[in-house]
Amino acid sequence: MKGILLGLLVLTLSGCAKTHVHLYGRYLQPEQIKNVSEALEAEGYQVKVNQFAFPRDIQQSSLIYSLMLRDVSKLDTVLGVATEQGWYVNNISALVKGNHWYTKDSMGLFLLPDGVDPTDPTAPENLSFLYQSVGCDKAPSLQLFSDNTFRIQPVAEVPFEDDWHQGSWELKESVYLTLTPKADKTWSYYLQLERRTEQDQLGKAEVIQLTPMRSYLMFGTCNFEYGVRS
């Protein structure tokens, strides 16, 4: 009898589990993310928003679903929600590898505004990451935002006011990054940008490295890197 009750309890819990929708919000405005998320949650989905870059083969608004999706009719519901919010998703396909959520009852919703090219490596959205320090014993970090502003978490005990830690950034000739602080708009930090692919036991990773072209007290002896598995 206990076994039957336990089985019924498991079935009940499984039936109540919500399907996850991973909303890729890198190219969306905060208000758009809010509206889509709330509309999906109203339909009973659990929404997880991320700022990950799109996979290279996704160049339009897409709905990618796991083969473990329990109810394929949910695809139509998500598409309907997207349409009501003004998004038209033409690419629908199954994900069979390459992401941690493909073995779960879930799907990924990739929304791309008109005129945005996710494959353009020089687009602000494709450089806007939190870069961590490497090659040093300090721990500064550099955050680039998609509105072309930046924020530096400097090395400890740097005698600079906050306006030296933030300002605007610009990419020049595809390989040189300038950071112009609010404190002095006639002066800039200069960093060289390099892209590379690394391979380890877990697979390939696409890495962006930023190397200061001069010695800056703000950065110490550090370089900065951001990496994402492909």
CA distance 31 to 42: 16
CATH code matching the domain that covers 19-110, chosen among 3.40.190.10, 3.30.70.2390, 3.40.50.2000, 3.40.50.450: 3.30.70.2390
Q: Provide the 10 A C-beta neighbour count for residue 40.
A: 21
Kindly list the domain boundaries of the chain, sorted by start residue: 19-110, 124-229
Q: Which residues of the chain have pLDDT under 50?
A: 1-15
Please, are residues 218 and 160 in contact by the beta-carbon 8 Å criterion?
yes
DSSP state of 220: B
CATH code matching the domain that covers 124-229, chosen among 1.10.8, 2.40.128, 1.10.3470, 3.30.310: 2.40.128
Write down the pTM of the prediction. Answer: 0.69
Dihedral of the alpha carbons of 112, 95, 36, 227, in degrees to the nearest 10:
-60
Residues 64-112 pLDDT 10s: 999 889 999 999 999 999 999 999 998 999 986 666 666 789 999 999 9
